[in-house]
Amino acid sequence: MSRFVLSFFLIFSVLLTSCEAQTSMNEALSIRWELIENQLDDSSGSRAQFVIENHSGQTIESGWKLYFNSIFFDLNAQIESPGIELTHLAGDFFVLTGRGKEAAIPKGGILTVSYRSKNPHLKNHHAPDAPIFTLANGTIVPDIQFEKSEMSVWDLRNQAGESQLPIPTPDRLFEQNEGLSVLPKEDLPPFLPTPKTWKINGEPQWVTQAGLAVVGDKSFAKAATFLTKRIKENYNPEILKTEKPIQIRVSKKDGFPAEGYSLEIRDRRVLILASDERGAFYGVQSFLALQPADFWKGNAEGLLLPQISIEDYPAYSYRGFFLDVARNFQPKEEIFRILDLMALYKLNTFHFNLANDEGWRIEIEALPELTQYGSKRGFSTDEADFQWPFYGSGISPDKYPGTGFYTQEDFKEILRYAQERQIEVIPEIGFPAHSRAAIKSMEKRYERFQQAGNLEKAEEFRLIDPEDQSEYLSAQNFRDNTVCVCKESVYRFFETVVMEMKGMYQEVGTPLKVFHTGGDEVPYGVWEKSPICEEFLAENKSLKQEDLGPYFRSRIGFFLKNEGIQQAGWEEIGQLADNGKVVPNPNFAERKWRLYAWNAVAGWGGEDMAYRLANAGFPVVISSSANYYFDLAYDWDPRERGHTWSGVGDMYQSWKSVPGKFYLSHDQTIDGKDWNWEKAKERFEVLTEEGKKNILGIQGQLWTETVKSPEMLEYYVIPKIFGLVQRAWEGDPDWSSATSIEEKKALRLKEWNVFVNQVAQVELPRLESFQGGYKIRIPAPGLKRVGDQVFANLQLPGLEIRYTVNGGIPSRTDSLYSGPVTYSPNLRFRAFSPNGQGSNVSQLED
């Protein structure tokens, strides 16, 4: 699903050694990567070089190979140095080969390799990653030294020329943050997502040493049990019998909207009412959300009982979070943490991407090769035992995050954990493209049975036509990632996987209601030169080449329907090309496939595709890449990790979206040009009444090409997820109903100020204690110089800003900013969360 529009070529550091003297050769080679030229305007492009210094006592002979990873590499980069050959292997994996006498590196010598790219260099982490160096004899060199130059935000600003890219220099951040101010905590809503109505009935009570009685109606016993468990994990006082006990009741009452509830606290009595199980659970979560941050540290001395009445219900029935674990794996324990985060903020659907080109992550007992081979990445020249180390996952095939999978018991644990939190888990196994891991795994199965002489078993689950000469390149630069939809064994494979997964759901007592089939980014050119497909089309004369994709989707759709499972997929499975334009496919609308409308880059023309699909009759989940793709970098600061193909996106980008009037969801196009709301409204398709019913809700996505640890995952998600949960629960914000543009923007700023105060003062402190604490991205301070005075502000009012005057990185013990500071070229500023998580450093341009 993710796109790599801006790519860039970098190369790596590496060492040399020989078989006879490998130990003495450790750290004998150093590489320095340098950016020489970089332009972001109309004549965009870059030029860079890497300088290899041979510190060993012997010559590195030609024939050496330097393997490296770079998602953002320009496949058409021009190597300017003689004797160097560049080869793209697959995906983000490349190799440089030194050929001829020019490529030899004498002892004590230096080799400089330079190249040109048509793409600019935008992010420091877009530089080369995970170099692997082999000598001419194939020996892998250990302990590579590597250095690379890095850009500051000011460097990028100076390289931008006339580009309109909104580069977040400290002065621009200051301007963006103007209008925000610290608000009294008592004036803020009680928690996120903001309840529909709340009323304070009196002063809150802090209750200590009191007993607790939680009673749930038979219908809501699970919610009551969950609440009791949560409280006892944190509140275990020494009970005094003289203390009046706390009484909590979770009861059924008809008449609430779906998933709605009421919560009333008077004195020491808590009453939660709902009409359905999810509503009862969300009432429980709201009670827990009223507890102070310290409650979640365990062994709380008391319970906080705000005297409050709340009436609440969600705007959308579908409130989702998508996580890809195929590109880079995440351990089961981190999945539990994500599910806890979702439950706390009332998200109810976990879309779980378990397979893609770069990894297969779920055990299928009938097809053991999927995990024996497809779950592993490491280095080899031929991928004989595992795939190449995509995304810099390293040499070892035993190393996380390139390698890893969930056993069936692991997956059932995840299902039970989600079920307890009222979260539906929707698995995704992408077909027919994004299937390289499955294809390679089934080739291993084919080889095993072929060698045993059992050709029938060998072909049973084979996914390719071995004689296919079709030429294509996928969005992520694979030439072999699409199954042959003309082979019966492909359907046998798909059905086997689905039925085993359905069995896992049945074992934990929850039905598999929806299966996400992917269906996105099928490359142009697939199946065009497949003999098997030529024969298939000759036998099925009603079909043409362009019908093969729809035939595949239709056939697996009928299979899923017969199993009582709704087919879901990315928007492409409900589209077709009509005179060069992508439009909804009316032939499939009546089948009620659930579509996830994602390709909504601001300025590319597809921003209203969700509306077009909904009006055509498809159930739609708005998954806009421009607003809800959390793998996009927070901003254009070179220090911020993440993709830029659909622009950048922070918490504001998700919060200011308007699902019912999506033309109001942007202020700028991807290239920094102003977005005109009135003109956008004119060209946007208007949702019909039936179309409105087909908008199920919204979902945030995290693809993990650049996410290499649980800490990175949480950094990418928090605080972006707050905008998502607010919009999914609240629906369209109040400001979107104002009459004039000026009024809309004024009200938006006012509502935004309340929201950021709530995040800073209520939610971040909670999440730094909840479940042991989460990694959180803290925004860098904005700065403005007026004469000799420097002013600082922040997107999250109320957090600390610290500064130094000696050029050092500020810590929590340095000077606290409380007003303008006298200018010095060595001034450095940094923001901190309540528990001390720090932002990037801000400084004025020298």
Who's near 188: CB < 8 A, 6+ residues apart?
754, 757, 758, 761, 762
Is pLDDT of 21 > 70?
no
Q: Indicate the residue among 312, 331, 360 that finishes a domain.
A: 312
**CATH (domain of 287):** 3.30.379.10
Average pLDDT for 25-48: 86
Is pLDDT of 322 > 70?
yes
Is residue 273 located within the same domain as residue 374?
no
Is pLDDT of 7 > 80?
no
Work out how many domains the chain is built from and give that number: 4
Is residue 305 located within the same domain as residue 363?
no
Fill in the amino acid letter for 175. E
Is residue 427, in this structure, part of any structural domain at all? Answer: yes
Is pLDDT of 671 > 90?
no
Report the C-alpha gap between 449 and 518 in whole angstroms. Answer: 29
Tens of pLDDT, residue by residue over 731-768, are: 999 999 999 999 999 999 999 999 999 999 999 999 99
| Per-residue confidence (pLDDT) for residue 26, from 0 to 100 | 62
Is residue 619, in this structure, part of any structural domain at all? Answer: yes
Report the C-alpha gap between 685 and 663 in whole angstroms. Answer: 10
Tens of pLDDT, residue by residue over 420-473, are: 999 999 999 999 999 999 999 999 999 999 999 999 999 999 999 999 999 999
Report the C-alpha gap between 333 and 529 in whole angstroms. Answer: 45
Tens of pLDDT, residue by residue over 90-136, are: 999 999 999 988 999 999 999 999 999 999 999 999 998 888 999 99
Report the C-alpha gap between 482 and 475 in whole angstroms. Answer: 12
Fill in the amino acid letter for 720. K
Fill in the amino acid letter for 414. I
Q: Which residue, among 501, 192, 230, has the nearest Cα to 319 in the 3D structure?
A: 192
Who's near 556: CB < 8 A, 6+ residues apart?
431, 491, 494, 517, 567
Q: Which residue, among 647, 637, 660, has the nearest Cα to 601 in the 3D structure?
A: 647
Q: Which contiguous run of DSSP H or E holds residue 440? A: helix 436-451
Q: How many CB atoms lie within 10 A of CB 125?
A: 16
Is residue 258 located within the same domain as residue 130?
no
Cβ–Cβ under 8 Å, residues 258 and 319: no
Average pLDDT for 602-628: 97
- Is the four-CA dihedral 541, 543, 548, 550 of positive or negative sign? negative
Residue 436's Cα: distance from chain center in Å?
A: 21
Cβ–Cβ under 8 Å, residues 633 and 123: yes
| Per-residue confidence (pLDDT) for residue 520, from 0 to 100 | 97
Tens of pLDDT, residue by residue over 208-253, are: 999 999 999 999 999 999 999 999 999 988 899 899 999 999 999 9
Is residue 839, in this structure, part of any structural domain at all? Answer: no
Q: Which residues pair with 701 in a beta bridge?
A: 322, 629
Average pLDDT for 300-305: 92
| Per-residue confidence (pLDDT) for residue 25, from 0 to 100 | 54
| Per-residue confidence (pLDDT) for residue 780, from 0 to 100 | 98
Is residue 400 located within the same domain as residue 291?
no
| Per-residue confidence (pLDDT) for residue 144, from 0 to 100 | 86
Which two structure tokens, joined as six digits, stand for 277?
A: 């199980």
For the chain, the residue count is 846
Fill in the amino acid letter for 753. N
Q: Indicate the residue among 163, 180, 215 that finishes a domain.
A: 163
**CATH (domain of 394):** 3.20.20.80
Is residue 554 located within the same domain as residue 605?
yes
Task: Give the full edge-to-edge strand order of the sheet including 269-274.
Answer: 197-200, 308-312, 261-266, 269-274, 246-252, 212-216
Q: Which residues pair with 58 in a beta bridge?
A: none
Is residue 308 located within the same domain as residue 323?
no
Q: How many CB atoms lie within 10 A of CB 1?
A: 26
Is pLDDT of 16 > 60?
no
Q: Which residues pair with 261 in a beta bridge?
A: 274, 312
Report the C-alpha gap between 765 and 833 in whole angstroms. Answer: 8
Look up tokens 């939660």; give the residue.
272
Q: In the chain, what is the greatest distance between 2 CA atoms, to the nearest angstrom? A: 91
Is residue 59, in this structure, part of any structural domain at all? Answer: yes
10 Å CB burial of residue 369 (0-12, 13-18, 19+) is: buried
| Per-residue confidence (pLDDT) for residue 29, from 0 to 100 | 86
Is residue 770, in this structure, part of any structural domain at all? Answer: no
Is pLDDT of 2 > 70?
no
Average pLDDT for 678-682: 96
Cβ–Cβ under 8 Å, residues 797 and 817: no
- The range of the structural domain enclosing residue 299 comes to 197-312
- Least confident stretch, 128-132, 273-277, 442-446, 664-668: 128-132
Cβ–Cβ under 8 Å, residues 52 and 28: no
Is pLDDT of 409 > 50?
yes
Report the C-alpha gap between 314 and 96 in whole angstroms. Answer: 54
Q: What is the rounded average pLDDT for all residues in the chain? A: 94
Cα-only R_g, the chain? 28
Cβ–Cβ under 8 Å, residues 845 and 785: no
Report the C-alpha gap between 363 and 516 in whole angstroms. Answer: 17
Q: Which residue, among 716, 591, 773, has the nearest Cα to 321 in the 3D structure?
A: 716
Average pLDDT for 573-586: 91
Tens of pLDDT, residue by residue over 50-78, are: 888 888 888 999 999 999 999 998 999 99
Cβ–Cβ under 8 Å, residues 790 and 821: yes
| Per-residue confidence (pLDDT) for residue 27, from 0 to 100 | 65
Percentage of residues in the chain having pLDDT higher than 90: 90
DSSP string, 574-619: GEEEETTEEEE-HHHHTTT-EEEE----TTSS-TTHHHHHHHTT--
Q: How many CB atoms lie within 10 A of CB 681?
A: 14
Report the C-alpha gap between 41 and 61 in whole angstroms. Answer: 41
Report the C-alpha gap between 349 and 338 in whole angstroms. Answer: 12
Strands (DSSP E) found in 58-180: 65-69, 78-79, 84-90, 93-98, 110-117, 129-134, 140-141, 145-148
Cβ–Cβ under 8 Å, residues 15 and 133: yes
Global pTM value: 0.96
Q: Indicate the residue among 294, 312, 330 that finishes a domain.
A: 312
10 Å CB burial of residue 243 (0-12, 13-18, 19+) is: middle
User: If pLDDT is split at 50, 70 and 90, which confidence band does 300 have?
Assistant: confident
Is residue 168, in this structure, part of any structural domain at all? Answer: no
Is residue 488 located within the same domain as residue 356?
yes
Is residue 154 located within the same domain as residue 237?
no
Is pLDDT of 537 > 50?
yes
| Per-residue confidence (pLDDT) for residue 472, from 0 to 100 | 98
Report the C-alpha gap between 345 and 740 in whole angstroms. Answer: 32
Task: Compute the CA torsion angle 305, 306, 312, 314 (nearest 10 deg).
Answer: -80
10 Å CB burial of residue 410 (0-12, 13-18, 19+) is: middle
Tens of pLDDT, residue by residue over 765-788, are: 999 999 999 999 999 999 999 999
**CATH (domain of 75):** 2.60.40.290
10 Å CB burial of residue 32 (0-12, 13-18, 19+) is: middle
Is residue 711 located within the same domain as residue 619?
yes
> How many alpha carbons lie under 13 Å from residue 363 in its C-beta half-sphere?
11
Q: Which residue, among 30, 33, 32, has the nearest Cα to 55 in the 3D structure?
A: 30
Q: What is the three-class DSSP state of 550? A: helix
| Per-residue confidence (pLDDT) for residue 15, from 0 to 100 | 34
10 Å CB burial of residue 87 (0-12, 13-18, 19+) is: exposed
User: If pLDDT is split at 50, 70 and 90, which confidence band does 11 have?
Assistant: very low
Report the C-alpha gap between 665 and 681 in whole angstroms. Answer: 11
Residue 377's Cα: distance from chain center in Å?
A: 21
Is residue 217, in this structure, part of any structural domain at all? Answer: yes
Is residue 229 located within the same domain as residue 101?
no
Is residue 560 located within the same domain as residue 445?
yes
Strand 821-822 vs strand 789-793: parallel, antiparallel, or unpaired? antiparallel
Cβ–Cβ under 8 Å, residues 316 and 659: yes
For residue 830, the 8-state DSSP code is: E
Is residue 825, in this structure, part of any structural domain at all? Answer: yes
Look up tokens 């309340």; give the residue.
754
Cβ–Cβ under 8 Å, residues 545 and 524: no
Is residue 480 located within the same domain as residue 541?
yes
